[in-house]
């Protein structure tokens, strides 16, 4: 089997990871949790980290920090930059916010 079509009930990280491991193309509606791309960042799958690619940015690395399960049962991976990477960046406030001194990203398992 090379492709499947399924409803949103199969849109879990576990199901998507299984399909990916088996090399199966799946056409499944997504509930908006998974983001295959993050504006201003490149994901490096082999090393499991994001890197800032914003012009004028400091090229911060967002390293993998672990997984958490939210109240709906979705497992999310968490990535964070270091405060030192972001503190002097001219884009810090628009990227991290006014109070936060580092960038963080979380995504459901399988992404």
Same domain for 46 and 94: yes
Same domain for 50 and 17: no
Same domain for 16 and 47: no
48-59 tens-digit pLDDT:
998 988 777 778
Same domain for 39 and 13: no
More confident of the two residues 4 and 14? 4
Contact 86, 104 (CB under 8 A): no
**Domain hosting residue 61, numbered range:** 35-108
Q: How many domains does the chain have?
A: 2
59-111 tens-digit pLDDT:
888 888 898 887 777 778 888 888 888 877 887 777 777 766 566 665 544 44
Contact 69, 108 (CB under 8 A): no
d(CA 58, CA 105): 17
Report residue 37 as tokens: 């791309």
Burial class (CB in 10 A: 0-12, 13-18, 19+), 86: buried
Contact 59, 42 (CB under 8 A): no
Instruction: Name the pairing type of β-strands 3-5 and 25-27.
Output: parallel
């Amino acid at each position: 089997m090379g492709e499947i079509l399924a409803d949103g009930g199969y849109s879990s990280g576990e199901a998507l990871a299984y399909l990916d491991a088996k090399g199966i193309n799946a056409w499944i509606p997504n509930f908006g949790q998974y983001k295959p791309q993050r504006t201003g960042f490149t994901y490096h799958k082999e090393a499991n980290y994001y890197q800032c690619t914003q012009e004028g940015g400091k090229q911060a690395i967002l390293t993998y920090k672990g997984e958490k399960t939210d109240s709906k049962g979705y497992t999310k991976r968490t990535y964070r930059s270091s405060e030192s990477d972001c503190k002097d960046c001219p884009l810090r406030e628009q990227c991290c916010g006014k109070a936060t001194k580092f960038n963080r990203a979380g995504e459901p398992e399988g992404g």
